[in-house]
Chain A
Amino acid sequence: MEKSLNWREFVVTRAIKASGYSAIVFVLLIFVFLMREGLPALSEVDAGNLFSLRWYPIEDLFGILPLITGSLIVTFGAALIAVPFGIGTAIYISEIAPRWMREILKPLVELLGGLPSVVLGFLGILIVSPNLRILLDLPTGLTAFTGSLLLGGIAVPTVVSVAEDALDSVPRAYREGAWALGATKWQTIWRVTLPAAKSGVLTAIMLGVGRAIGETMTVMMVTGNAPVLATSLGSLFSPVRTMTATIAAEMGEVANGSVHYHTLFLIGIILFLISLTVNVIASSVVFRAKKRAERILS
């Protein structure tokens, strides 16, 4: 009896350990694979071509700048929408809404987060973009702005649920302290609750941005997919093409091992680096906050 228990214990702990380590292995494998398939592009395509302004693989024009700026401008627009809206919603849910409202809103927001992005893209094509075209008097409704609107919608649930958790974990005593000093509800939120939840709110923003930058389906459906360099904020209202959409659209038709194929993987590497940077910044913010808390508590 004793012995079989020990044996089971051994198997279970090892199995759990293995699944824990597998996460590291998978990330490493993906990274190695990306590098192996993507790095050759750097030698096959000369720098002048790679940093040119035209992405036209059929004629061996592999300028990735329009794609990068496309991704950035769509993500930037999405952040402009998702951050204020998401944090506002989080503040409402956590600080202002009565209990019954909170109990309806929280699951609703989480449900919204689980909405397949292709459904949103569908709504974007059928409803958002035609209306936007008429409303703003544009030649086409399939623009970076349309993508930003929808991506903002996708990022909002992420921002809301992480920021709401952060606000919720601020001790009630902080708020009562401020109220007892004669602070109004809004003054308490702005000067006490938000600063106290700062690291969590920043993480929420980062995760929301990360979510937006990696999103593929929706942007492919609504941004028009024209690889034109976005030079100013005015480009928000013209069609763009993002890195993710390029990979998704072209990977299926590319010849395995060709220059085009390698370049698509290079774009994948760039995406990987961007989301890695965002994540590292996010966790370093959290880490710094934690260290400060530890110093204070000791």
Chain B
Amino acid sequence: MVVIMTDKIIIENLSLQYSDGAESLRGISMGIPQNAVTVLFGPAGGGKSTLLRCLNRLNDLTDIKTSSGRILIDGENILDPKTDVIALRRKVGMVFARPVPLPMSIRENITYGLELAGEKNRIKLDEAVERSLKLAAIWDEVKDRLNDPAVALSGGQQQRVCLARVLALQPEIILLDEPTSGLDPISTGKVEAALQELKKNYTIILVPHSIQQAARTADHAAFFLQGELIEYDEGKTMFTTPKQKKTEDYIMGRFG
């Protein structure tokens, strides 16, 4: 396979099967470009989340029967057993479908990751809190109550705090697994706008919760069906003139 230099992540022939046989990936190969939003979409059970969770090795902690293939980030195979998983997860941040603020205050939610990484300087931590909350478009809403428990926020606010928590670590790649599935349209709009801003500096991989969101946000889009990558193209092309029949059927709402 030819390595294209602008691709931040290169996935080579990745296959994976869970022990309970629930969901799997079959021979996925794709390159994910830097500074763009790449959308992974398709019906449930297609392997989108599984692929995301391979990228930060969160799948290590689940029961996996078999896996093969390589994932190169900046040219290094992160599936290598010698990879420093902790460092990898700092470089590849993740936001989940259900916002899960940790059982701490808003401020601590942001600083927790940094403290784990060894940052103790209070001024730097405070700067990081403000910077990342601003990036996640929630600073104005929470700046006066940073010491309140994060679980007391609304769902939309929690999700943006979770995004800020990831941003505080200054990762290079951000994975988002249906980050707006539980949010109202206004919060969703805020998160999507934040992503468009963030992609200037980050590589973003998003599993959207609807085709409409996929079409709105995608620079590049990949259509997954039952563990296989059916089609991978630029977002505009994909959602106007898909090449594969299956993709077209799904986008037109004929199944799924």
Using a CB–CB cutoff of 8 Å, the interface residues on chain A facing chain B are 99, 171, 173-174, 176-184, 187, 191-192, 195-196, 295-296
> Among residues 112 to 138 in chain B, which have CB atoms less than 8 Å away from a CB atom of chain A?
112-113, 116-117
For the complex, give the distance between the alpha carbons of A182 and B152 in Å.
Answer: 24
> Among residues 94 to 109 in chain B, which have CB atoms less than 8 Å away from a CB atom of chain A?
94, 96, 98, 100-104
- Asked whether, in the complex, the Cβ of A174 is within 8 Å of the Cβ of B103, the reply is yes
* B169, CB-defined interface residue at 8 Å: yes
- Asked whether, in the complex, the Cβ of B96 is within 8 Å of the Cβ of A176, the reply is yes
CB neighbours (8 Å) of A296 from chain B are: 149, 151-152
* B38, CB-defined interface residue at 8 Å: no
* B1, CB-defined interface residue at 8 Å: no
- Asked whether, in the complex, the Cβ of B152 is within 8 Å of the Cβ of A176, the reply is no
- Asked whether, in the complex, the Cβ of A179 is within 8 Å of the Cβ of B58, the reply is yes
* Shortest Cβ distance from residue A175 to the other chain B in the assembled complex, whole angstroms: 8
CB neighbours (8 Å) of B98 from chain A are: 173
CB neighbours (8 Å) of B63 from chain A are: 99
Q: Which 7 A-B pairs have the closest CB atoms?
A: A181-B113, A180-B94, A182-B90, A177-B100, A173-B100, A182-B89, A196-B103
Q: Which of B90, B94, B101, B103 has the most CB of A within 10 A?
A: B103
CB neighbours (8 Å) of B116 from chain A are: 181-184, 187
**CB closest chain-A residue, reference B162:** A177
Instruction: Pull 26 A–B residue pairs with CB atoms less than 8 Å apart, ordered by A.
Output: A99-B63, A173-B96, A173-B100, A174-B102, A174-B103, A177-B100, A177-B101, A177-B102, A180-B56, A180-B58, A180-B94, A181-B90, A181-B116, A181-B165, A181-B166, A182-B90, A182-B113, A182-B117, A183-B86, A184-B86, A191-B112, A192-B102, A195-B103, A295-B152, A296-B149, A296-B151
CB neighbours (8 Å) of B162 from chain A are: 177
**CB closest chain-B residue, reference A177:** B100
* B22, CB-defined interface residue at 8 Å: no
Candidates A174, A181, A184, A192; contact of B169 at CB < 8 Å: A181
CB neighbours (8 Å) of A192 from chain B are: 102-103
How many chain B residues have a CB neighbour from A under 8 Å?
28
* B2, CB-defined interface residue at 8 Å: no
For the complex, give the distance between the alpha carbons of A122 and B167 in Å.
Answer: 60
- Asked whether, in the complex, the Cβ of B87 is within 8 Å of the Cβ of A176, the reply is no
* B227, CB-defined interface residue at 8 Å: no
* Shortest Cβ distance from residue A128 to the other chain B in the assembled complex, whole angstroms: 40
- Asked whether, in the complex, the Cβ of A179 is within 8 Å of the Cβ of B96, the reply is no
- Asked whether, in the complex, the Cβ of B100 is within 8 Å of the Cβ of A182, the reply is no
Q: Which of B56, B58, B113 has the most CB of A within 10 A?
A: B113
* B61, CB-defined interface residue at 8 Å: yes
**CB closest chain-B residue, reference A292:** B149
- Asked whether, in the complex, the Cβ of A176 is within 8 Å of the Cβ of B169, the reply is no
* B93, CB-defined interface residue at 8 Å: yes
Question: Contacts A181-B166, A182-B117 given: A176-B112 contact, CB under 8 Å?
Answer: no
CB neighbours (8 Å) of A295 from chain B are: 152
For the complex, give the distance between the alpha carbons of A171 and B58 in Å.
Answer: 16
**CB closest chain-B residue, reference A196:** B103
